[in-house]
Every structure is written in C-alpha cells, then in structure tokens.
Chains A and B, each alone.
Chain A
Amino acid sequence: MPTKTIKVDTLARVEGEGALFLKLRDGRVEEAQLKIYEPPRFFEALLRGRSFAEAHDITARICGICPVAYQMSAVHAMEMALGMEVGGPLRALRRLLYCGEWIESHALHIVLLHAPDFLGYPDAVEMAREHGETVKRGLAIKKTGNEILRLLGGREIHPINVRVGGFHKIPPKAEILALGEILKPAADAAEALVRWTAALPVPDFERDYEFVSLHQGSEYPFNEGRIVSSRGLDIPVIDYPSHFAEIHEPHSTALHSVIKARGAYLVGPMARFHLNRDLLGPRARAAAAEAGLMEGCRNPFRSIAVRAVETLFALEEALAILENYTEPEAPFIAAEPRAGVGHAATEAPRGLLYHRYRLSEDGTIEDAVIVPPTSQNQKVIEEDVRRTATAFIDAGDEILRHRCEQAIRNYDPCISCATHFLKLTFDRDGTEDG
C-alpha cells in the first residue's frame, strides 16, 4: 500500500527521533501508532553483575534531564532490599534535592519547550523576541533549581553526591540556608508564571484518564507513598508488578504500559495534582485555585499550568525545608549487603518512575527492572494524538505535525527537546500524495 513520508530533520539528535504513523481513510484516522521512547533495556542488562552501590549513578545516565529521579528510585529500592530506612534530616535533604530537579525541569519545559506552541511561535527563540521578560524569568527560576543541584548534588546537572544511605558529603549549614536568598524571589516569579500559563489559550480537550501517582497522605509526594489511581487503585509499591504490565500491542513497534485490569493510564504532574492537590503548600494551592485548577483538571493542554503550580510548590517546599533544617549527624547510613529484592517508585518531574532490583548475598545486582514515566504514558499519548490528528486531519501536513507535537509536548517527554522531533508517516486512502 503506498505511503507518504514526511520527515523533518533540522538538527542531528543523539537520542533518536520520535515516529508517528497515521493511517487515514475517508477523512478519519483509522490508525495511529506512536513511538517516542525506547525502554531502557540496555541499562537493565548493563546493571547485571554490578554492585548495589553503583545502580544510582549508572541509571542516572538513562535520562540526562532527570538524573535525581533515577538516583532516588534506585537508592530507595536498594534501601528496601537491604532493610534500611533513611529518615530525619537526610530524608529532608533528599526532598530538597528533588525540589531542585522539579524546578529546573519544569521551568525549562514550560518556557522553552511548551509555551511557544500556545502562542503560535515556531520555537522559543521567536517567542523570546516578543516575550523576553517571561523567558528570562523562566530561566532565572530554572537556575535556582540548578543551584540546589549544584550545592546538594555536587554538580549543576549530573549530581554525584547521592549514595545508598544518604549523601557522600553534606554541605555546610550556612551554604544550605543561603539558598533561601535565591529561592524567595524565584517563588515570587513562579507565582507570576502560574498566572501567565493559566492565561494561555488552550483547546477544549478532555478525556477521562486514569491518573496514577504516589500518595502518602501527609505531603505532596516525591520519594514515598503507596501507588494510587483515580479509579480506586491503592497498592504498596511492591505490588506494582502484579497490577501493571508492559505489553506489545499487535501492529505496534512500541511497548505499552497498562494497568492489567483496565488499560492505559497517565502519570506526571496532572496525575500527581489530581490525587494530591490538597497537600500542596498554601501558596501553590492559592495559585492553583486562582487559575481555576483546584476543581480538577482533565485537559492535557492545561498541564503547562499544572507544571507551573508544581514549580511554585517545589520552591515553597524548598523554603520550608530550609526553615526546619537541622544538620544530619552523619552524611549517610552504612549499608550491609545481603540477598533480597527491592522495589521503589518516586515521582520524577514527568511522573512515576519504578525500579526493582534483585540482589545476591554480596550485594551484586542479579537483575533489574526500570519503568520510566514517559514509557508508561506512551499509550495515553498515542490516544491523545489520535484525537488531535482527527481534529486537524484536513489542515495540511505541517499544521497536522505541529498539533501532534504540541499534544505530545503536553506530557513533557524527554524527546521533545528538539523543535521538530517527529517523523510523520501517512497512509492516506491508499493513494500517494505529491
């Protein structure tokens, strides 16, 4: 059957491109197959035979944008396997580090990757010419996240200070408290960013998603909690494999994550917000209410505003941690290797990140399973893209591709860093278009 391929390749990308295949018949999207994320099988294989103490630094290389998330899921899984509990000031510092990652990841996405779509600009550069102050403000917010990572993580973008049991070194208290000086103005800027994103024009688009996130009941979740959903799922993390699966759909090249009993589900800021919004700090809650989000949000095009709310929350939370900070007695708790299985799920900026490891007696990793948030969202994104493509089916190829990319960017997948990342292939009514 004749196909038409549209390929856009403005920049050489090391990570690989996304591929969307649309089968169009009689003005309808008969089939939509999306592949935007390769499961990290290479890393799962690489981890076998390595020590439990190495997993977090190895897995952090899976995603250059969210290394803290990989480190946190890994160390928590190892600590579970080894029967360790890291609480008190070390727990608080881990939350602070995660705040840093949410701040820098969300601010970057909102301002440089996503906002241009809503205002009709082809990219952030064009948007910056007319919205320079907003872009500068977003980048200034991002920088505070990077500063937290630099201080606590040892480097601005790839932290090296995390280990099983805590940290290699704790920075002096004065330096940690000094972060407050940059976090306070950033929180004010984040409040303005919520208002700005909430005012962006968005299409009417709602679906009855099943939202999945951590929930621990007393704090907006980063590292701990049960896994819950908006359709009644409520399980401990160790039961993840019993309820979730990765399946190969017929006719698809991509793996899809499903809840075994029901199908597609959504992780990320919208899910976290839906399931935990009453646990946001007061400023974030107030900003979300003003933005009209507190009644609930099922429009993925409003995820940009939810991300802004979470950015404000992360800054507010970081300031609260500083206010209550006491120095840990030791930088880490020593780990004693033993055989066992450890599971953990933590909330990466993009959503739930699940790790599972099986260790032998001396702490060697026998096998590993890693399920990233973008892989879990792949099925729900594909369904969103099918609906979007249906709405723009007659609009011409360039507009169709742009709208599909915008729909995908609602989920902030790692691949969306390139302005045009989607290779779009059509099969139109069995005829070849010129």
Chain B
Amino acid sequence: MSVRILGIGNPLRGDDGAGPAAIRLLEGTLPANIEARVVAADPALLLAEISAARACVVLDAAAPDGNPGRIARIAWSREAPVLSAPGHSTHGFGLAEALALAEALGSLPPETVLWTIEGVSFALGEGLSPPVASALPSLARRARAEAVRLHRAEGLRRPHRI
C-alpha cells in the first residue's frame, strides 16, 4: 500500500467520529494501492499506521472555532505550527504530536496532508451534528482526490523497470 487515508477519531464522542465516518464513505471507492483505514486516536498506533505508508492523507475533526462543518487542508511540514494551535485537533497527545514524533524518529512519509472538518459537539454520544454530516461527503471526495494525486506523484518518482 503506497498511499494511506487515515481517519482518526472516537465515534463515541459526537463529531469526533467524523474521521472514521469519512473512511466508511470511502470504502469500496478507492483505486488499488490506496488504502483507507480508521485509526484509534492513540499516538503509538497512529505512528505505526503513518510510518507504514509512503504518502498519507489524514482526516480528523477540529475543535469548534465558529465555522461548523468547515473543511481545511494543511500540508504537513515542520514549520506548520498551526497544527499545535487550538482549533486544529481535538486530541491531547494525538495527531499533531504523532506526526511530529514520526518526523523526529525519521518515520514520517515524505508527503503527509491533513484534512480537518470543524466540529460542533464532542460530548459523549454517537452521531455527527448536521453541519458535519452534510459536509462529510465533500471531505471524503477531497481526501480521495488528494490520495489519487499523491499516488500519481509517487508513481512518477519510482524508477522505471526495464
């Protein structure tokens, strides 16, 4: 699997389930060599999933910031401090640290792109809020397009076999 789409979140905490829900929408719609998986918001497991890919698209819910359902794209780089700021991840030691840790350990795929969707409620309970639920197909589409782009770029980088 050269490209992975990872959906992160806890489906038992309202909009925190957006990442996994997006992965479910993508199931069965992806070309070969692109894999979509739900990943627990556990730094070590996340790290293992990220390191196994050559390029990675990560889907996560963002904390409320006044724009429910808003979708944002962040291309990972060491200089992307935005990942540590409030509003970009709902997890404590979660996504931002897992990516930074992977990079510090030399396990981060050369290209990692984060797509977030701003949530409304993260209280205990299953189910997405209406703004997130209605924006979800758009998130899934963009994730697929990104993964396809990354896969093509990957293919161009590989040496030709003669």
Contact = CB atoms under 8 A, between A and B. Distances in A.
Given A125-B97, A132-B104, A421 B45 contact: no
Contact of A139 (B47, B96, B106): B47
Contacts of B89: 11-12
Chain B CB within 10 Å, residue with most, of A14, A107, A143: A14
Interface stretch (B8-16, B133-141, B152-160): B8-16
Given A11-B86, A128-B104, A136-B105, A112 B45 contact: no
A157 B106 contact: no
B40 A156 contact: yes
A158 B45 CA distance: 13
B92 A417 contact: yes
B3 interface: no
A218 interface: no
B97 A12 contact: no
Contact of A146 (B44, B87, B106): B44
Given A136-B105, A142-B44, A418-B92, A14 B100 contact: no
B42 interface: yes
B86 A125 contact: no
B43 A132 contact: no
Contacts of B63: 12
B80 to A, nearest CB: 13
Contacts of B44: 104, 107-108, 112, 139, 142-143, 146
Contact of B84 (A10, A15, A113, A139): A10
Interface residues of B, number: 31
Contacts of B47: 139
Given A125-B100, A136-B105, A61 B87 contact: no
B48 interface: yes
B84 A124 contact: no
A135 interface: yes
Given A10-B84, A12-B63, A108-B43, A143 B104 contact: no
Contacts of B43: 108, 112
A421 B94 CA distance: 14
Main secondary structure of the interface of B (DSSP, over half): loop
B124 interface: yes
Interface in B112-162: 122, 124
Nearest to B41: A64
Nearest to B96: A11
A11 B84 contact: yes
Given A11-B84, A108-B44, A139-B44, A128 B90 contact: no
B92 A421 contact: yes
A251 interface: no
Contacts of A11: 84, 86, 89, 91-92, 94, 96
A112 B105 contact: no
A402 to B, nearest CB: 17
Contacts of B42: 146, 156-157
Contacts of B94: 11
B137 to A, nearest CB: 25
A108 B26 CA distance: 31
A10 B27 CA distance: 34
Nearest to B48: A143
B90 A14 contact: yes
Interface string A121-134: 00111101100100
Contacts of A146: 42, 44-45
A108 B12 CA distance: 23
A327 interface: no
Given A124-B97, A417-B92, A421-B92, A14 B122 contact: yes
B52 to A, nearest CB: 12
Interface in B69-119: 84-87, 89-94, 96-97, 100-101, 104-106
A360 interface: no
Nearest to B87: A12
A123 B42 CA distance: 16
Contacts of A108: 43-44
Contacts of B40: 156-158
Interface of A: 9-15, 42, 61, 64, 104, 107-108, 112-113, 123-126, 128-129, 132, 135-136, 139, 142-143, 146, 156-158, 417-419, 421
27 contacts: A10-B86, A11-B84, A11-B94, A12-B87, A12-B90, A14-B13, A15-B92, A61-B124, A108-B43, A112-B101, A124-B93, A124-B101, A125-B97, A128-B101, A128-B104, A132-B104, A132-B106, A139-B44, A139-B47, A143-B44, A158-B40, A417-B92, A417-B93, A418-B92, A418-B93, A419-B93, A419-B97
Interface of B: 10, 12-13, 16, 40, 42-45, 47-48, 63, 84-87, 89-94, 96-97, 100-101, 104-106, 122, 124
Given A14-B90, A124-B97, A125-B97, 5 more contacts: A14-B91, A64-B10, A128-B101, A136-B105, A418-B92
